[in-house]
Chain A
Amino acid sequence: MLPLVAVILFAALRPLKVLPRIRISPGYLLVDQNGNRVSSEEMRGQITLYGFTSTDCGLPCVGSEELMADVAAQIDSQSDVPVELVMIALDEQELLPDALRAYALDRGIEPSRRLLTGEAQQVKVVVGGGFNTFYERDSSGQLQLDKALMLVDGLGILRAEYRGRLPSTSAILRDIDLLTQEARNSTGLTRYAYEAAHLFLCYP
């Protein structure tokens, strides 16, 4: 009887909060603004916030770039669980590192964030197929993009999708903090408490 009461109390009181495990985030091999090849595997062990942009992006990118910059300015760079902020460029052509770097400097993406590029088809598979984020060029060549940010944990699991109306900086920081706490504390017996929190959908 006691275990049953404990389970019901846990489900009712929700002493731990976790973010849902949505699905595996897409794998990729892209190039950053310094010409380095970057794979999704390199992001393991750290929390990654993905955003999408392009060098000619207008209205569709308004807000998300500023939000990423705001988050970058407020995250704890000394945390034992590193947080990486990554922008993926949706340009029609794979950008050369010099152009990518110039754009990153121009938009203030350097040095706190990474900007990744790749072949258009490859990027489409990652962003459209993997992150389920729609974008295309209209007849006038303008980028049409659904505003979205993606939060991926250190195991490569997508934990939050921010679509449409973008969230506040504090909401993203809260989610990053939840992932940080989970990564930091989910060991030994506490791990079972976190698994119970997932089982009972203890979401914020």
Chain B
Amino acid sequence: MDIVLEVKNLNVSFNNEAVIKDLSFDVKKSEVLVILGPNGAGKTTLLRTLLGIVPHTGEIIWRTKNISYLPPQEFVQRKNMPPLSVLEFFKIKNDSLKRIKEIINMVGLDKSILNKEFYNLSTGQFQRMLIAWALINKPEVLLLDEPASGIDIGGEETIYSLLHKFWEKWGITILMVTHDLNIVWEHATNVLCLNKRGLCYGPPEKVLAPKRLKELYGVGIKFYKHKVKK
């Protein structure tokens, strides 16, 4: 199977404090890799490093340039900003109006949203809109950081189902940071357990034993393993 990303001996430090230590893994085409770990484990830093935002040592080899990113909501400025319509936000991507309307429709939003102010959307609408924005170029790889944070349980399920739909339809490779173990069982093909170091890597049914979770989070984690057909 084609490898789209190779990470070798990755190290990231902030102010001489190691945030990621000697991390190596591969990501194959059309894989859904869920990155798990407690707060401060380096998950967000890992995604930002993979995008070239954070200085690092080690090797990051992308075998595609068609990569999209959906940052966590707190990394997107929405308050006290001047007016910007959703359509203007999409124009940054240089796509046709027809394509913009198509993708808006595909994420379950009405095209009337294009005339709304970017900053006045509800959290759920905003996240769907950002997903549409990330997907409009039909990326080969999508990096997501807590895509359902701040969204209620029903909305959360919709976001993950939506992403699953695009994964099935387009065969996108997805790298996703989440705290939600249910997402691992329902959607992940592989899981990377991270707590500064890589503690496990592989299919969830093989690597996510309770002992491993205790090692990762420092406390016993109870979970229910869904029997979901991928």
Please determine whether chains A and B interact with each other in the same assembly.
no
Binding site for B on A (CB under 8 A): none
Binding site for A on B (CB under 8 A): none
